[in-house]
Amino acid sequence: MEKTLSRGFGGPLQYVQGPGEIKNLAKYTANCGRNVLAIIDAFLYQSISAKLEESFQDTDSRLMCMAGEGECSWKEINRVIDASKEFQPEVIVGIGGGKTMDTAKMVAEQLSLPKIICPTSASSDAPTSALSVMYSDEGEHLGSIMLKKHAEMVLLDTDIIISAPPRLFISGMGDALATYFEAHAILDSDTPNHIGAGYKPTRLAIAIADLCYDILLEKGEFALACVKQGILTSAVEDVIEANTLLSGLGFENTGCVTAHGIHSGLTILPQTASFLHGEKVAFGIVVELVLENRSKEEIDKIMKFMVRVGLPVTLEQFHVEPTEENIEAIAAKSLKSNLVSLEPFEVNMKNLVAAIKGANILGKTYLEAMKP
């Protein structure tokens, strides 16, 4: 992207997070339109659609609920648009995980409609961004599409989020942890961010990335222990905010680099399809630590945190054998994503392959050293 001296910052118009907030959805959509199309994760469709239908009773709004099906692909986007034509939606609501939310964003974009995004887990920073990550029908990462505008609102019901599997919360911490390292790489390389045509990151964006990192390292382990017991503490609310709002604003207003580039690379191997976005990004953080030659003290702190909370730090944890062929396939796909090229130094096949190999050795070392 072309370098610029201008600074830019963007985000959703409103962000609301708290227990029981899904019951207020009708009140929030009323500000956007009367005919509400809700696209809901298939896994949660029955329970969420029942709650919505109850909350929309005795209102002036009309509600149509649809279950999301699989990847955020053009096939899925067009399926939703075709099925909702007769209903004539005026506002789109995306409820669920990253792929369902990204599908809802793309449907709203194609129909030029306002959107409200409601994540049902704190598993990624996708909710706050004005982009959708596109996949093939088979699950291969194809790239991201920048949208014309952010959501009118991001709405989190933390009662729902606390009931999601802890693995999703852990994955969100992996995605959020990358924000700090990638933000500073973007700052050092003077790379434009993801706002509009791309601007220099504001100081606020860097401060958000730093705060996200601080919250995770300070409260992440305790918050996870609470989540595993189904307890909604202030620490859990803090980490939900870090995983969703801070990480989202942080990455979009700075950028993604090696950690997310390696995520893209891992998707080339079919055995990684069952793993979550933040889990793949977590291994990408290890690669970035090696590639950037971070200090022993910083590596030790981050690696111990990731192992303690259960984030994957080796290829074997993705059922990937660290063969030359597999590592070169990951590196080639990562280089194709162009994210690793945003480091403040040259990244090529040779040093990226070496970093992946080194990261796998590093991960094994810490897993072995920290065995109970």
Of 141, 150, 194, 260, the catalytic one is 260
> Which amino acid belongs to residue 191?
T
DSSP code for 282: H
Distance CA 238, CA 156 (A): 13
Distance CA 183, CA 297 (A): 20
Full 3-state SS string of 67-103: EECCCCCHHHHHHHHHHCCCCCCCEEEEEECHHHHHH
Contacts of 339 (CB under 8 A, 6+ apart): 256, 257, 258, 260, 261, 264
194 is catalytic: no
Cβ count within 10 A of residue 238: 18
CA 88 to chain centre: 30
263 is catalytic: yes
Which of 288, 306, 287, 307 has the alpha carbon at shortest distance from 359? Answer: 287
Of 102, 157, 175, 238, the catalytic one is 175
Backbone φ and ψ for 210, nearest 5 degrees, come out as -65, -40
Any idea which residues carry the catalytic annotation?
175, 260, 263, 277
